[in-house]
Amino acid sequence: MKFSWGVGITITYVIFISSVVSIVVYMHTLDVNLVRDDYYEHELKHQEQIDKQKRSQALAEKVDVELDSVNLNISFPKSFKSYEVEGVLTVFRPSDRSLDRTMDIDCDESMQHKVPLAQLAKGVWRVKIDWQARNTTYYDEKIIMIN
């Protein structure tokens, strides 16, 4: 039997189409993890977030995020009272969103909120602080490394 150009081209097309179909099927089986499920809705509120960050940067005393051997310590400006500060603290893990933690801010008399390091795995974390005091909203964000 003689091998002709027509048979060779047909075999090449069949292999090519099979490869493309296999790749498309494989890509549909992959799990795509977005940072947020409501990504697009969140982006629409981006200007409000920028305004909160500008207000926070304009404060004379900034929010401070520090690590000690036991806790993640978040210090709020002492120009506010502990009962005036409220909001939400999100400890965000970029590599695995199942490790993210969200909690209400609860300041003690020294204007600190403490998060035990035992609740957080080792690695890179993004601390997002969405808070308000005296009817003004603020937002701070810091990146930390837990060893």
Decide which of 63 and 95 is more confident. Answer: 63
**Residue extents of the structural domains in the chain:** 39-146
pLDDT score recorded for residue 44: 77
Cβ(121)–Cβ(99) below 8 Å: yes
Q: Is the pLDDT of residue 102 over 90?
A: yes
Quick one: pLDDT at residue 90? 94
Q: Is pLDDT above 70 for 16?
A: yes
pLDDT band, very low/low/confident/very high, at 1 (cuts 50, 70, 90): low
**Each residue's pLDDT tens digit, 41-86:** 777 788 888 999 999 999 999 999 999 989 999 999 999 999 999 9
Looking at every residue in the chain, the average pLDDT score rounds to 90
* Topology of domain 39-146, CATH: Immunoglobulin-like (2.60.40)
Cα dihedral 36→120→95→26 (10° resolution): -80
Q: How far apart are CA 20 and CA 101, in angstroms?
A: 40
Beta strands in the chain (DSSP E): 64-67, 71-75, 86-92, 101-104, 112-116, 123-133, 136-146
Going edge to edge, which strands form the sheet with 101-104? 101-104, 86-92, 123-133, 136-146
pLDDT given for residue 34 in this prediction? 63
